A = this chain, B = another copy of it.
């Protein structure tokens, strides 16, 4: 590999000390205009960029943020990371990807966390869908590592968190169905002990009650995550006599809704004529199911962006990226407001209903 220039070389070529060269590179105002120009000329002439490793060691900030996440084949992840990458792109930071496969029981995932902490490689961590790792993440946070969480498996705690209002979003979805005239609305809920699942369930109940409808136990089914779970629940629902069928189903996530769609099509049950289906998440696929799925849109890439913004502000409150200066100030302010009130930072982003053919032929978009 071609030997790279050091700041020493730049200094020599410009006829100054490396201290001065360093000052120029870091925009220190206390440098003579003429000297600054001279150094800058040499720098640009050679496309000089300071060695990242050395900067890290001396400056105490690696300008690296870790992104801890399950494999990217999880539906929402590419979107989230796109947001992260977009924000990082015009910052001075880079992304270190810690992709962790929970399905692989062989390896001890806590080793990964240990690596993150001990290596001191990253100056901050964005933890997405942490699953069983949350306790260790919490410990990292207590040790002082800046961490932002995108994960609504558990109720947000003291770690800065970016997400949505699951309950309110579910309530909006149900109210939409009520406005469509549905009375018998079933709910295939998510896993028992998951915060998001419980919240969406609560929103479902709340909306029904507000409409004077008592939630019927037989219209509530315990699902999970996957298409198969949705399919199984659908089998149960439609195994009964036709009169007791629901006219609409609110499925706790899109993945399960796919299973429902598959099953009802095979059974010749028409959507939305016989039954209306509404999902939650708005995965990229959901626009291409048959029929396309009406669902609650989660602003995944925006979540990634905002979480990154928050994280960079935690790592370095002084930090202002050029093109984003104003936004950064705003975010910083927002962040300070919350943390000054000694409240944990919880950023709740708005969701929106995406109306597709699984509920109607019309195509609208209703903001929450």
Using CB atoms and an 8 Å cutoff, list the residues of chain A in contact with chain B. Answer: 1-2, 4, 47-49, 51-54, 56-57, 62, 64, 67, 71-73, 77-79, 81-82, 85-86, 89-90, 94-99, 101, 107, 112, 114-115, 118-121, 143-145, 258, 284-285, 288, 290
Within the assembled complex, what's the spacing in Å between the Cα atoms of A121 and B122? 13
Q: How many copies of this chain are found per oligomer?
A: 2
6 sampled A-B residue pairs with Cβ under 8 A: A47-B114, A48-B118, A53-B121, A57-B57, A67-B97, A81-B99
Complex contact A107–B82 (CB within 8 A): no
Bound-state Cα–Cα, A56 to B55, Å: 12
Bound CA–CA A321/B52 (angstroms): 26
Which of chain B's residues have a CB closer than 8 A to the CB of A89?
99, 101, 107, 112
Structural contact, A57 and B48, CB atoms closer than 8 A: no
Q: How far is the CB of A137 from chain B (nearest CB, A)?
A: 15
- Please pick, from B1, B54, B115, B119, the residue contacting A51 in the complex, using a CB distance under 8 A: B119
Cβ contacts under 8 Å, A284 to chain B: 73
Contacting A52 at CB < 8 Å: which of B48, B78, B99, B119? B119
Q: Give the chain B neighbours of A67 by CB distance below 8 A.
A: 97
Which B-chain residue is minimally distant from A143 (CB atoms)? Answer: B2
14 further contact pairs, Cβ within 8 A, besides A47-B114, A49-B118, A51-B120:
A49-B119, A51-B119, A52-B121, A53-B53, A53-B121, A67-B97, A72-B72, A72-B77, A78-B78, A85-B101, A89-B101, A94-B97, A94-B121, A97-B97
CB of B72 within 8 A of CB of A82, answer yes
B97 touches A52 (CB 8 A): no
Residue from the list B71, B95, B107, B118 in contact with A78, Cβ < 8 A: B71
> In the bound complex, what is the Cα–Cα distance between A48 and B115 (angstroms)?
10
